[in-house]
């Protein structure tokens, strides 16, 4: 199930969303809750938490300055600002993706992202958009997709 809206007039004018919240449920009983927004006044905010019965993994925003991340004093807590935009946040990742692409094309190295993973992400995003637009739960049918054993 997904819920979405448009608070930015230019986004609303093209019938698109600038914020979305979604809930995914899996046959195993696992549940994923996510949210996304096109705008953050304080920078490119990207965090992740995975919580399970054996513990939790938490990934915070990467920051440009790694020497002093947090200062706590009489004025309160101050954090080093996060990256302001996706080009600044992913500069190194884009370079590594290009290097990997060249290795795949020139050296025959296997791709890090499989065609099945790409299909899965596309199906989930399409279902989330449909759910947000219709207000209804959308079931995803994986039966005809030849799910590789490592994902089933």
User: Could you tell me which residues are beta bridge partners of residue 76?
Assistant: 73
pLDDT band at 149 (very low <50, low <70, confident <90, very high): low
CA dist., res. 25 & res. 113, Å (int): 23
Average pLDDT, the chain: 89
| Contacts with 29 (C-beta within 8 Å, 6 or more apart), sequence order | none
pLDDT value at residue 66: 64
Contacts of 111 (CB under 8 A, 6+ apart): 100, 104
- Domains identified in the chain and CATH numbers: 2-134 (3.30.360.10)
69 pLDDT above the threshold of 80: no
Question: Residue 152 pLDDT > 60, yes or no?
Answer: no
Q: Which residue has the tokens 């995975």?
A: 50
Distance of alpha carbon 79 from alpha carbon 61, whole angstroms: 11
pLDDT digits (tens, 9 = 90+) for 13-53: 999 999 999 999 988 888 999 999 988 888 888 888 998 88
Q: What is the pLDDT of residue 93?
A: 92
Please tell me the predicted confidence (pLDDT) of residue 65.
73
């Amino acid at each position: 199930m997904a819920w979405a809206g448009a608070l930015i007039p230019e986004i609303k004018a093209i019938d698109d969303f600038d914020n979305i919240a979604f809930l995914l449920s899996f046959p195993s009983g696992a549940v994923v809750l996510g949210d996304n927004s096109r705008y953050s006044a304080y920078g490119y905010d990207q965090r992740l938490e995975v919580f399970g019965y054996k513990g939790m993994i938490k990934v915070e925003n990467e920051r440009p300055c790694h020497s002093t991340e947090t200062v706590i004093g009489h004025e309160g807590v101050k954090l080093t600002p996060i990256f302001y935009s996706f080009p600044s946040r992913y500069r190194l990742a884009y370079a590594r993706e290009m290097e990997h692409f060249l290795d795949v094309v020139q050296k025959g190295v296997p791709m890090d992202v499989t065609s099945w993973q790409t299909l899965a992400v596309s199906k989930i995003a399409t279902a989330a958009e449909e759910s947000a637009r219709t207000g209804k739960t959308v079931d995803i049918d994986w039966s005809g997709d030849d799910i590789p054993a490592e994902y089933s």
